[in-house]
Structure 1
Amino acid sequence: MSHLALITKTQSLIAAGDIVGAEYALAELADTEGDHALMEVLEQLPPKDILAVIREYDDSKNSVVNLLVTPEQFARALVLEKQYKDLTHSHLRGMVNAIIFRSDAQPLEFLEAIGNIEGGSEALANYFAEKWSRIEAFARTGHFDTFEDDGAMLSDEELRASAHVRAHITQEEVADSDWMELAWLLRYECRDLFIEMLLVLRAKARAHDLGLDEEDLPEDDGKVETSDTDRGKATPAARDSDEESAI
């Protein structure tokens, strides 16, 4: 099968909701023609189609797509995740952990790519949505235990200053290939992105507390683009987006 035919087949399977079949078709290409051939196909697939495959993370098996997706491809796909209606963000956290912390990966390369794309900080804010209070405590005290925090949030200026404080805990102490390690990397290795992510997270929390859609926040509540409200339903990304097809 030619690469063009495989791309057409993969997109058709994704459009039909057969994500397992799409991943199998891509894995079969790697088996028959090698990883380089699959990487060439991934370069031609639209980000929304890559996202449809990588977000279906299953920790019981390795996905060759997750193993080969590049930081730039991952970032372009990641910012589209908000198109899914997943209230818990479980798919988001699963694919981020699986790819950023894969055995051969350099996490900072992925974080740099995420930071360089519009919507990257929002995607990270969604990743940490369930851990907001502990991220705030980490920003204030350098520890994740909320009992060490006095409950007062740092101002924007204090937050920017605190990002340069020496780490109280080492990366090895939080090397869980999960949210704590990712937060540590952001705060101490990607400081600007950490601040931007937390400001977006605060804006989302304010919108929730006010009973507002995030789009209704006052203009001075943050220069962030906000996502639709999740409703707990995971389906293939909308095919009518403005994302251009590779075909």
Structure 2
Amino acid sequence: MSNHLALIEKTQSLIAAGDIAGAESALTELADAEGDRALMVVLDELAPKDVLAIMREYDPSRESVVNLLVTPEQFARAIVIEKRYKDLTHTHLRGMVNSIVFREDADPVAFLTAVGDLEGGSEAMANYFAEKWARIEAFARTGTFDTVEEDGEMLSEQALLGSAYASPRVEREEVADQDWMELAWLMRYECPDLFTEMLLVLRAQARAHHLGTEDEEEAGDEDARVETKDTDRGRSTPAAREDDEESAI
């Protein structure tokens, strides 16, 4: 166990220093020397943020021993704090989720259930689907991902739960892409509570974004009125533009 404690400290130090590859290499050496079970014990001792730091560096060109062995519970504890990275594109999140949930011989529902059991799980999954909100709404309402059939109305929370138990209009095999469509299908028909909570979070995020955009537009209109009043011909002076750039930084 003392060797494991030393390895844990070494891994944490490497991650803190930004050497994620070095940390993963140290864990791989443990698995090679003592077996997968020893690595799983160490992963359970590592802080979720450290496990996350390794998991999210998913590289499709190679396999990660951590992503291959992480348990649903370890995965869930890590994914609920992924938002700390403030990755606006959620590219790392999607790659990490797909590589682990759909890994060979894994049970995707077990991973989704573990995520749904934790506070912040629905938010993490909403971030995963952030770029697909319209398609997810269409899927919730019509049972297909085709937005052509979407009429703009959104199902209530009660209706969402009811539709989750309805017979699928598409079978899993039709969307078995090991990506967002298959994950959405599994959530809707195998983890309906998580699907509903995720979609409600997505809607809240969309509303917040819409309100933020409106606030920015109103602020821009107000700035324009101030500039018209305070400067010649309604244009800001070069000095004023420099001040704006500095304040933005």
TM-score by length of 1: 0.84
Map 1:166-185; keep pairs closer than 5 Å: 166-185=167-186
Q: Deviations over 1:143-183 (max 9, x none)?
A: 00101211221222322222222100000000000000000
Which position in structure 1 is the counterpart of 2:223? none
CA distance in 2, matches of 1:194, 1:127: 12
Q: Deviations over 1:100-136 (max 9, x none)?
A: 0000200010011001001000000000000000000
1:78 partnered with 2:79: yes
CA distance in 2, matches of 1:160, 1:43: 34
Which position in structure 2 is the counterpart of 1:128? 129
Code of the residue aligned with 1:192 in structure 2: it is D
CA distance in 1, matches of 2:47, 2:147: 41
Which position in structure 2 is the counterpart of 1:162? 163
CA distance in 2, matches of 1:14, 1:211: 35
CA distance in 1, matches of 2:26, 2:105: 23
Code of the residue aligned with 2:57 in structure 1: it is E
Identity of aligned residues (%): 73
CA distance in 1, matches of 2:158, 2:66: 41
CA distance in 1, matches of 2:77, 2:156: 31
Question: Which segments of 5 or more consecutive residues in structure 1 lack a partner in the other structure?
Answer: 213-247
Deviation at 1:37, TM superposition (A): 1.1
1:153 partnered with 2:154: yes
CA distance in 2, matches of 1:101, 1:180: 12
Which position in structure 2 is the counterpart of 1:40? 41
Code of the residue aligned with 1:50 in structure 2: it is V
Code of the residue aligned with 2:66 in structure 1: it is V
TM-score by length of 2: 0.83
Code of the residue aligned with 1:42 in structure 2: it is L
Query: Which has the larger Rg?
Result: 2
Q: Which structure 1 residue ranges, 4+ long, deviate > 3 Å from structure 2?
A: none
CA distance in 2, matches of 1:73, 1:29: 18
Q: Deviations over 1:29-83 (max 9, x none)?
A: 1111111111111111011100000000000000000010000000000001000
Across the two proteins, how many residue pairs are aligned to each other? 212
Which position in structure 2 is the counterpart of 1:20? 21
Please state which structure has a larger fraction of its residues in helix. 2
Code of the residue aligned with 1:112 in structure 2: it is T
Which position in structure 1 is the counterpart of 2:91? 90
CA distance in 2, matches of 1:89, 1:20: 21
Give RMSD over aligned pairs: 1.1
Code of the residue aligned with 1:210 in structure 2: it is L
Question: Which segments of 5 or more consecutive residues in structure 2 lack a partner in the other structure?
Answer: 214-249
1:60 partnered with 2:61: yes
Which position in structure 1 is the counterpart of 2:3? 2
Which position in structure 1 is the counterpart of 2:212? 211
Secondary structure of 2:59 counterpart: coil
Give the number of the structure with larger relative contact order, counting CA–CA contacts within 8 Å between residues 6 or more apart.
1
CA distance in 2, matches of 1:186, 1:163: 9
Code of the residue aligned with 1:11 in structure 2: it is Q
Which position in structure 1 is the counterpart of 2:108? 107
CA distance in 1, matches of 2:80, 2:130: 15
